[in-house]
Amino acid sequence: MRLKVDGFVLSVIAVIGIAYVFPQWGTPESKIPIDTISAIGISLIFFFYGLKLSPTKLKAGIKNWKLHLLVQGSTFLMFPLLILIFRPFIQNEAQETIWLAFFFLAALPSTVSSSVVMVSMAKGNIPAAIFNASISGIIGVVLTPLWMGLFVQSAQTDFDFTDIYIKLFVQIILPVVVGILLQRFLGEFAHKHNKRLTLFDKSVILLIIYKSFAESFEGDIFSTVSVLDLLMLFVAVLILFGVVFSLTGFLAKQMRFNTADQITAQFCGTKKSLVHGTVFSKIIFGNLASIGIILLPLMIFHAIQLLIISTVASRMSRKNIIE
């Protein structure tokens, strides 16, 4: 079976390369208003998300509460608790930053589009996948800053819950609500141009990633990160994914889920959203110099989850066809 390399993953790598060669475009001194462009872009992403959010499909998946508890519990409890275990072993500031990066990854909500696509491919419970992936982003707006607030305050003196929730409300919640209210007028347009809107979403995310890494490269933050460190990060992320994927599958069997629900639990409960991650990092960490390093585990995780889940989904799809 041939493995398809995700084009977005390649784009992320390319953008990081551009940030390394031309970091000056993303610095505060740059004449290019990247902060303003990305702020408007973030609001538009979630406005279009509101336009495409289907209340009917959400209602169809709401009844399976045991499945929802497992998926959201995996996303917002299992992940963070697994990372919290390692906090007592932190010995210096560099380790604190790496741990914070992993904890940020762990505290993020699930991704919507790829979760639903993979569940559909593997013949899982699609309505439940839509419900869980959609509700996860809404829960994350509240829980992710709460989780991070326990530890970011020690790393960033200007961490302010009020300011963060105002930004989250203005840039995320309000656009989603406006999008939902305008569904009857623009919903058909959003679904018709879904591919173009997805391209827009990815372009905004790439812009935020560029700025984050440009500032880190300009500040020489990565001078302490070796190739061995990157390899260890990759292995650590792979282990984290494997542990959560296995635990979620084990719990699904213990709860006597059918095959479709087990697929949904494992696929939705192990995903982390790069979209929410890049947006939340900009709001929660602001101009923290090490933001590029903080985003590293998330981007590695994004590539790993796409590769592994798409491979598993493809095998399940082939198996279902044969059967």
pLDDT (tens digit, 9 = 90+) per residue, 3-38? 555 677 788 888 889 988 998 888 777 888 888 888
Instruction: Report pLDDT for 9.
Output: 72
What are the distances in angstroms from CA 217 to CA 92, 148, 211? Answer: 22, 24, 10
Find the angle CA(124)-CA(126)-CA(128) to the nearest 5 degrees: 105
pLDDT of residue 173: 76
Mean residue pLDDT of the chain comes to: 82
Name the residue with tokens 């013949």.
123
pLDDT at 1 over 50: no
pLDDT tens-digit profile of 183-192?
989 989 998 9
229 band by pLDDT with thresholds 50, 70 and 90 = confident
Structure-token pair, residue 189: 């347009």
- Helix or strand or coil: residue 256? coil
Cα of 273 vs its chain's centroid, Å: 1
Query: What CA–CA distance (Å, rounded) separates 144 from 109?
Result: 8
DSSP states of 168-218 = HIIIIIHHHHHHHHTHHHHHHHHHHTHHHHHHHHHHHHHHHHHHHHHHHHH
Reported as a pLDDT band with limits 50, 70 and 90, residue 201 is: confident
Task: Select the more confidently predicted residue: 75 or 321.
Answer: 75
The two structure tokens encoding residue 60:
């169809």
